[in-house]
Structure formats: C-alpha cells, structure tokens
C-alpha cells in the first residue's frame, strides 16, 4: 500500500506497542544542548541508569553562550554553570560535544545538518521545539520535554502516539522579494497557530522542490509555530547533494546504499493523507507580524488589524491584547513603524544563505541612526564561511555588529536582550511577550532581507522598494 514518508519512517523505527497503546519508538539521533539536558542527566543519575547509545547523542551549546565573549568564565555565573554541567555530563557519559573549542559549535538545529548528522529516513529528537527543522531532510524530528530527554538517553526510545499527516502544497511562482520565511509565516497565518496540532506537516509542491536545503529548513523550523510538532520535506537530489561529503555522512559504497535507502523513504505517489492544503505561491507577499504570536501576521502593505472589524469576540480580545502590548495603532499601516533593534540570526535564519542575501543588498548602505543592528551567525562554521566571503566586513561596514555563534537575541538566556519597550525587527521565530529579554520588549518577525530593509531605513519597510527588487 502506498505510504507517506511519515508512516514509513515511523514503521521502520517502531519497536513495540506499549500498554497504553502508544508506540515505543526508536530514536536514531538524539541532539542535546545545555538548557534542557542537565535535569535529564540528573534524573538518570537518580535512577542509576546509563546512556543506552552514547554514540547516537550529540551535544552543542547555544542558548546561553555570550556572543561577544569567548573566554571563560562567562560574566554570568549561571551561564558558566550550565556550560560546565554539559561538559561534565558529556565527559561522564561518553557523548560527543561540539564545544566552542572544536570550531563546530552552533545552534543545535544548524549543527546537526552541517555535520551530516541529520539524515533522511531517520528519527531525531531534541529537547527543543524547533527540532522540526531537521525534517527538511526527510527525517521525522520531534521536539521533546526533559523527561523524554531522559527516556531517550536511558533507552534510545520514547513513548509516542503516531501523528496524522497534512500535506501542504505550495505551487506556482514566488514573487521577487518573497522568501522561505514569508512562505511559513503565510502558512501559519492561514492555518493558525494551533492548526497543526496532532499533525505532521509534509511540505510539497514545486516551490519546495526548487528550494535549497536552507530554505526548506527555514520552513520546517517554524512548523511548531503552526502547532505541528513535526514538519518535513521528502528527500531528493537537493538533499543528497547537501549531505555528500559532510563529516557524519556515509562514505564510499555506504553512501550509494544510503542514497538508495533514503529515496525509498519518500512518500509514495498516491498515498493517503489525513488532509491536503494547497497554496498559490503568487498569493504570498513579504510578511511581517504585528502581534504577540507568529500567526498574527500581515503582508507588508496591509494595515494593522482593527479589533472593531474582528469576527468572533475572542478574536477581538486577542487583537486588543496584542495591540496594547505592541503599542500599535489599529488600522494604521505596519509599514513605517519605527524600530530600535535589528536582529539577524537564529535557527530559522542564521545560515550562510541568509547572510549572503543580506550582504548582497546592504553593501554600501548604512544602518539608520539610532538603530542597534546585530548579525549573529548560527554556527561557527557559518561564521567562518561568512568571514571567508567577506560578508562580515560588508555587514560591519554597514553598521551591523558581527557576533559569535549562538541563539543570541532569539530569546533571553544570554546577554543579548531588548531593553524596555524597544521594537526589534527580527529574523527569529517567536514574537511572544517578553521573548527577547525585556518584559515590555516588542518583536516583529520577518525575513532576513526585510530585517535589513528595516535596519537601513529605521522602520518596517518593504525590502522590494528599499533594495529596488523588481516586483
């Protein structure tokens, strides 16, 4: 019977059915970082358990690392304690740790693919909701809680019920200035922030076929913002070309065998889906958020919603709450909203292609007076590649601070934070209240090029106009 990739990978990793009807699912690859693993190792010690397959767990450090300080101890003793704890746990249990000294450190969802650890047809888990990123390779990748991190460490499995599968097809042509980030912001806007609950999203259509791995990762990354725990793209030649020659990719004869197997995992034509949703690529515009969840997005030329036009009372209340927090005027254009900070980076848009694209357009331009602009590569390898290509210079000359790899201003666990009610044009993935480190700080999500446009104009702007892209 024709099957989807989700079903095939699930079946290949299902160990047995548990008493409560859930499946004991083998997790081939486990990624860990400093925030959600120490408690799990603590539980492991309390129970007197060992790590079942230490060679299948890989660690990096990302959330708490300062991006302007390399030498330890860090200024924040709590950050240093978390760093030390991760080192101790990896050493004690025999786990590979991409520490900063290895030159391979970075945001966990950037490191996995970069190292060739993320592979098609595998199951991946990580104590981080953006683990869905790895689905770009045709893996089934779950964000999990700390107790499940413990389960995976102790047994290399976890208890889970299968998901339904919704195929989201985007076909047609994207207009100039419309990026993968806009595609996913549009999908979330249309299907809602919890539209994906209970589903794995299979992204397909000629837009995804034509996307690079980096673009696919940007979309899969934010599946969770649409409520879908898992998002994936079927593996194809683009996937294989990306993986070839990476440190953990199969070599020689094993490579050919692996590719043949990987191909077999792709969804069969004509397989059944629980739901299919189609989007015309031409309907997608550069999209920005105006509110306090990623579903509160509009295209750059639309006005900020007015609660008086809201349908349900619920919707009215949520618009009012968002506008009160964002201090934005109902009915006003979003374009022209003054910004204080521009942030380029995160596991959504902190890859080489993102910085290349920005550098191409900001070359010779200047960040507007009064705007603090920071560019934070997602990994040390991204940083090095950018430096080789002179991208760091272009960005620094434009007035961006070029930082060291980490999560940085995506969330408030390191020194990069908003102050007071600053507004940040951000290439990250979450605009929740207080997300960027100040309890009154405001976030507007957008694509990296839109962040660049905001940085050079000092306001939310249409990158197509600012950089004269042909519309």
Partner 1 sequence: MSLAKISSVSGRAVAVPGNDIDTDRIIPARFMKCVTFDGLGEFLFYDVRKNADGSDRSHPLNDPRFKGATILLSGANFGCGSSREHAPQAIQKYGFKAIVAENFAEIFFGNCTTLGMPCLSAKREDIAILSAAVEANPGIEVTLDLVKQEIRFGGQRISATLRDSARDALVNGRWDAIGELLEGRNAVAVRARTLPYLAA
Residue ranges in 84-113 that form contacts with ligand SF4 under rule CB under 6 A: 107, 109
CB of 61 to partner 1, least distance (A): 13
Q: Enumerate residues 119-158 that contact ligand SF4 by CB under 6 A.
A: 128, 130
- From 94-102, 168-176, 323-331, 403-411, span contacting ligand SF4 (CB under 6 A): 403-411
* Binding map of ligand SF4 across residues 297-316, x = CB under 6 A, - = no contact: --------------------
- From 68-76, 359-367, 405-413, 442-450, span contacting ligand SF4 (CB under 6 A): 405-413
Burial of residue 105 (CB within 10 Å: 0-12, 13-18, 19+) is: buried
Residues ≥6 apart with Cβ < 8 Å to 322: 290, 291, 292, 293, 296
Residue given tokens 């030329």 in the structure block? 301
Q: Enumerate residues 53-92 that contact partner 1 by CB under 8 A.
A: 53, 56, 64, 76, 78-79, 81-82, 85
The first and second tokens of residue 342, run together, are: 């521009």
3-class secondary-structure state, position 256: helix
401 binds partner 1 (CB under 8 A): no
Per the DSSP assignment, residues forming a β-bridge with 126 are 31, 143
CB 442 within 8 A of CB 423: yes
Distance of CA 343 to the CA centre of its chain: 15
Q: Enumerate residues 147-176 that contact partner 1 by CB under 8 A.
A: 147-148, 150-151, 154-159, 161
Per the DSSP assignment, residues forming a β-bridge with 58 are 31, 96
347 binds ligand SF4 (CB under 6 A): yes
Q: Which of 105, 122, 238, 422 binds partner 1 (CB under 8 A)?
A: 122
411 binds ligand SF4 (CB under 6 A): yes
Whole-angstrom Cα distance, residue 63 to residue 416?
Answer: 11
247 binds partner 1 (CB under 8 A): no
Per the DSSP assignment, residues forming a β-bridge with 166 are 201, 275
Indicate the residue among 62 and 114 with the shorter CB distance to ligand SF4. 62
Indicate the residue among 160 and 425 with the shorter CB distance to partner 1. 160
Whole-angstrom Cα distance, residue 13 to residue 367?
Answer: 50
50 binds partner 1 (CB under 8 A): no
Q: Enumerate residues 419-458 that contact ligand SF4 by CB under 6 A.
A: 428-429
- From 21-29, 108-116, 302-310, 454-462, span contacting partner 1 (CB under 8 A): 21-29
Burial of residue 2 (CB within 10 Å: 0-12, 13-18, 19+) is: exposed
Indicate the residue among 294 and 305 with the shorter CB distance to ligand SF4. 294
Q: Which of 63, 167, 365, 442 binds ligand SF4 (CB under 6 A)?
A: 63
Distance of CA 28 to the CA centre of its chain: 21
Q: Which of 61, 117, 200, 407 binds ligand SF4 (CB under 6 A)?
A: 407
CB of 456 to partner 1, least distance (A): 30
- From 317-325, 367-375, 406-414, 415-423, span contacting ligand SF4 (CB under 6 A): 406-414
Would strands 199-204 and 57-60 be described as parallel, antiparallel, or unpaired?
unpaired
Whole-angstrom Cα distance, residue 425 to residue 454?
Answer: 7
Burial of residue 369 (CB within 10 Å: 0-12, 13-18, 19+) is: exposed
Q: Enumerate residues 433-452 that contact partner 1 by CB under 8 A.
A: 433-435, 437, 439
Indicate the residue among 82 and 174 with the shorter CB distance to ligand SF4. 82
CB of 100 to ligand SF4, least distance (A): 15
- From 235-243, 277-285, 331-339, 408-416, span contacting partner 1 (CB under 8 A): 408-416
Q: Enumerate residues 333-372 that contact partner 1 by CB under 8 A.
A: none
Cite the beta strand spans of 242-356 per DSSP E. Answer: 275-280, 287-289, 297-299, 341-344
Q: Enumerate residues 355-394 that contact ligand SF4 by CB under 6 A.
A: none
Question: Measured in Å, how far apart are the chain's first and last C-alpha atoms?
Answer: 45
CB 438 within 8 A of CB 457: no
CB of 213 to ligand SF4, least distance (A): 17
Whole-angstrom Cα distance, residue 428 to residue 433?
Answer: 14
DSSP secondary structure, 95-144, as one string: -EEE-GGGT--B-HHHHHHHHT-S-TT-EEEESSGGGGGGGGGT-EEEE-
Instruction: Report phi then psi at 404, rounded to 5.
Output: -90, 160
Indicate the residue among 1 and 312 with the shorter CB distance to partner 1. 312
Q: Enumerate residues 301-340 that contact partner 1 by CB under 8 A.
A: 314, 317-318, 321
CB of 326 to partner 1, least distance (A): 15
Indicate the residue among 239 and 353 with the shorter CB distance to partner 1. 239
Binding site for ligand SF4 (CB under 6 A): 62-63, 107, 109, 128, 130, 346-347, 407, 410-411, 428-429
């Amino acid at each position: 019977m024709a099957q989807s990739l989700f079903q095939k990978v699930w079946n290949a990793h299902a160990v047995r059915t548990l008493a409560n009807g859930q499946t004991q699912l083998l997790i081939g690859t486990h990624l860990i970082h400093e925030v959600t693993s120490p408690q799990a190792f603590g539980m492991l010690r309390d129970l007197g358990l060992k790590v079942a397959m230490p060679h299948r767990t890989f660690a990096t450090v990302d959330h708490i690392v300062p991006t302007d300080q390399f030498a330890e101890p860090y200024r924040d003793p709590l950050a240093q304690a978390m760093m030390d704890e991760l080192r101790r746990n990896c050493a004690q249990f025999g786990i590979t740790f991409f520490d900063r000294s290895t030159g391979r450190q970075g945001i966990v969802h950037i490191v996995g693919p970069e190292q060739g650890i993320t592979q098609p047809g595998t199951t991946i888990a990580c104590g981080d909701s953006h683990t869905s990123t790895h689905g770009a390779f045709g893996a089934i990748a779950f964000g999990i809680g700390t107790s499940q991190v413990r389960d995976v460490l102790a047994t290399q499995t976890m208890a889970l019920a299968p998901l339904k599968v919704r195929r989201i097809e985007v076909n047609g042509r994207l207009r100039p200035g419309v990026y993968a980030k806009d595609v996913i912001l549009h999908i979330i806007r249309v299907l809602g922030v919890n539209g994906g609950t209970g589903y794995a999203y299979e992204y397909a259509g000629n837009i995804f076929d034509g996307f690079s791995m980096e673009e696919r990762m940007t979309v899969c990354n934010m599946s969770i913002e649409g409520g879908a725990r898992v998002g994936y793209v079927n593996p194809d030649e683009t996937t294989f070309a990306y993986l070839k020659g990476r440190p953990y990719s199969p070599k020689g004869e094993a490579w050919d065998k692996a590719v043949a197997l990987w191909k077999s995992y792709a969804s069969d034509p004509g397989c059944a889906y629980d739901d299919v949703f189609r989007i015309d690529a031409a309907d997608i515009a550069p999209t920005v958020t105006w509110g306090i969840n990623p579903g509160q997005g509009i295209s750059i030329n639309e006005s900020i919603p007015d609660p008086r036009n809201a349908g349900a009372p619920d919707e009215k209340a949520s618009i009012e709450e968002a506008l009160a927090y964002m201090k934005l005027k109902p009915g006003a254009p979003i374009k022209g909203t003054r910004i204080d900070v521009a942030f380029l980076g995160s596991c959504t848009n902190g890859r080489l292609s993102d910085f290349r694209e920005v550098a191409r357009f900001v070359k010779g331009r200047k960040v507007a007076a009064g705007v603090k602009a920071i560019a934070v590569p997602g990994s040390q390898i991204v940083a090095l590649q950018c430096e080789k290509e002179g991208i760091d210079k272009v960005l620094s000359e434009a007035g961006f601070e070029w930082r060291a790899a980490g999560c940085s201003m995506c969330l408030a666990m390191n020194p990069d934070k908003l102050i007071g009610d600053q507004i940040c044009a951000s290439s990250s993935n979450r605009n929740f209240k207080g997300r960027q480190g100040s309890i009154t700080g405001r976030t507007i999500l957008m694509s990296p090029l839109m962040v660049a446009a905001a940085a050079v104009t000092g306001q939310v702007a249409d990158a197509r106009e600012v950089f004269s892209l042909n519309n």
